[in-house]
Structure 1
């Protein structure tokens, strides 16, 4: 029995053959009272793709996660999960989903093995098939030696591994993870992503990850950038970075207005971001040319510039370029609280 094999679902009543895996969202809108959390969102995710849903607080990514997880009703637009329409084919749509929530869902008073056993029972898995499936996952996630350990004795990174294993126990076609790196250290974060890469490369699992971390978004095959309920961009990280010529000059000063006027007089259009001025390089402009511009600016304003840096374009720069404002993060915002 393997991840790519057929699975039995109680709701279907018969063995379900694997359809081409993808997520299809068309013209999706959703409101909490008078506030529109999602506004005409459309995108598709192909089989074997890791797709990142990237956005700051209040961008709509949490609401999108809840709808794709079938936790919220569909009020406008259409959603298909592995070919099954939600909510018309809700039971079948849920059967192809594996979900890993940001908040821990493990019973810490049970062992690793017991958590997986109870998850299997929810999907009508029992006996030899369940034991074999659990053993496969324990081996895949390097948890075999910890299967008898209570979850409460595991590190945050190991608990997250168990969460992911639990999410794919029933052999879903789509795995959705909400902020998977929350509460774990950088080393554990890299380990989790290595497991996600394995699930994509070896088992062609389609994976959606909501995140506010640029580092995570860079690891995805494609990134859906959201802001104020709308899709700002949907492409690979490389293609998104290509929207900006390539280099970013950041200048800090105690007299931003005076410096801004000087930059404009030199033929550039700066953007104010977090107490600094950001200048994008011109298309085709190399590092030496932008460095010369920076030198000219420093020569004209030697006493007002406190810091000056030149760096390659990042996804955060792309967000600023597309929206005109910086990427704000903080405590996770409840998008329903409006």
Structure 2
């Protein structure tokens, strides 16, 4: 804030057309404030911010795919990757090389929830090439899986009925898409994914520790031979049509100094550099795991390089510096 204007910078996270009035943004902009909209959501949600993106001075997106879609003549649209807090980074105590080598035969850890049939299939396949395997995330236990499905069905149906009530009843064939837009397919996808007849193959050679608090999870990850995650998203209205999505987890898990196997995408390559462990398909995933098992010393050194990249480029202190340089404002953290 300065004497000349009430605000120097308006920084909005996930500003969408339906949430913010255009006139309000224009008043702030006319006062001299710099307006930034930071979009971190999934690639397929770009359409929710088309109109207001024209008012902001800068649109920052955590998905390169959305940078291309939202590009316009009114402002700058820039790739602004996810970041982790400096405090989170410095709390992590990566193992020394000799300790990691002593744990080289420890389980591989997969971190992620059982939110879709595709994810279940992925872990089932992973368990055959990454033995032993520890899986951490909600929904993997059979009972919690059933409860999760029931909860999904209940919430989806409630949303459906509420929308129908608001519009005085909706004709499924003629007005659904017009009234709901992209939200219709999201709700339908959630319902279909939850109630469809799904057969889940039992997970073999998999350890399921259940719920872990932050300290327990950190300890588990730091004692793992490697960490596996997937950028593939396949729930909700992507049910049956999984696609890549850059995630905070891609940055977060790479900060542990443990080999982290991630999907090879333009976003991950741009952020994690040449020493990260990339895979595309199970053949490459198997090759990465074999390399970690057969040459743990090299795997450790590469993971150490990636952690340094996170420290130098993907902490929020880095992002504050980028915003200050972009806006030419004196921004204190």
Choose between structure 1 and 2 for higher RCO, CA contacts under 8 A separated by at least 6 residues: 1
Give TM class, smaller chain: under 0.3
Structure with bigger helix share is 2
TM-score by length of 2: 0.25
Structure with bigger strand share is 1
TM-score by length of 1: 0.25
